[in-house]
Amino acid sequence: MLLPPSVRYCDGLVSDVARDAWSRAARNWVRHNETPNNMNDLIERPAMQALLGEVAGKRTLEVGCGLAHYSRWLAQQGAEAWGLEPAPRLLELAQAMAEAEGAGLALRAGGVELLPEYPDGHFDIVLLPMVLEYVDDLDETFRQAHRVLRPDGFVAISIVHPMRNLSVKHLTADGEELRIVSGYLNSGVYEWSLWIMKDDDGNDITCRSQRRTLQEHVEPLVRAGFLIEAILEPDAAPAAWRIDAARCKENRHCPQFLLLKAVKRER
């Protein structure tokens, strides 16, 4: 199987390793987010914001909020924004950023494991942005998300597109960059220490993720009682092309993100 360098399948669970790795990589995640051509800002976040629609007056929970990009934006839009973040250094940075912006967020230390602590029907929207690969049990996560949502509330999910995840760059004879994915159906836990996983001194950090297919994301959502209302594979907007045409072209060849909106239905 063709895999990117530093990726190897392994045994075990992901969540504890991922929490510690993300905490150590916190500064590098800040740097990534400050880069004007980061693909989250260029493609994923505008698509998610469109998917969320009108949020003023809604109570939202962002699970694995990182630097709370979404929660800070939600608060600006008039939502009552709650957030969970298990990586201590990311949580600290998110709290400092929210304070500097005067955004009143309810941020709390912890990950999906804390969902059972919230009352039934407490939220209008549960966001799971770029976090599911660090979650071991999707069935339990979606069951809990379903429970804490009010009737007709929804989950908003973004992930690395499963057809892009663990892809390898290939340069054609005429210089075009393509992405090749192999072993698509080989789900499981893998270790990696690619670009983002660096500590404050630039040393590699080993993180763990779950490789899952599209089917493996959709089935537990449906089992939990959700109706899938939207699937997005976002193209870059013209403004993003002006910032980094090469990456936007590559995204058109092989989309980097996939987003899902799934609405709560009574079971």
Residues interacting with ligand SAM, by CB under 6 A? 15, 18-19, 22, 63-66, 69, 85-87, 90, 111-112, 129-131, 134-135
CB of 163 to ligand SAM, least distance (A): 19
First to last CA, the chain: 41
Judging by beta carbons within 10 Å of its beta carbon (0-12, 13-18, 19+), is residue 71 exposed, middle or buried?
Answer: buried
DSSP state of 163: T
CB of 143 to ligand SAM, least distance (A): 15
CB of 57 to ligand SAM, least distance (A): 23
166: left (phi over 0), alpha (psi -120 to 50) or beta: left
Nearer to ligand SAM (CB atom), residue 36 or residue 176: 36
Residues forming beta bridges with residue 129, ordered by sequence position: 158
Closest CA relative to residue 13, chosen from 152, 163, 201, 191: 191
Nearer to ligand SAM (CB atom), residue 87 or residue 240: 87
Six token digits for residue 156: 């908003």
CB of 228 to ligand SAM, least distance (A): 21
Helix axes 15-24, 26-34, angle to 10 degrees: 60
69 in Cβ contact with 33 (< 8 Å): yes
Helix (H, G, I), strand (E, B) or coil at 123: strand
Nearer to ligand SAM (CB atom), residue 18 or residue 51: 18
Nearer to ligand SAM (CB atom), residue 87 or residue 262: 87
CB of 73 to ligand SAM, least distance (A): 11
Nearer to ligand SAM (CB atom), residue 226 or residue 257: 257
CB of 175 to ligand SAM, least distance (A): 31
CB of 24 to ligand SAM, least distance (A): 11
DSSP state of 10: -
Nearer to ligand SAM (CB atom), residue 130 or residue 248: 130
Six token digits for residue 10: 């392994």
Name 255's Cβ contacts closer than 8 Å, sequence gap at least 6: 161, 163, 164, 233, 234, 235
Nearer to ligand SAM (CB atom), residue 145 or residue 248: 145
Six token digits for residue 49: 């914001």
Residues 167 and 2: their CA atoms lie apart, in Å, by 8
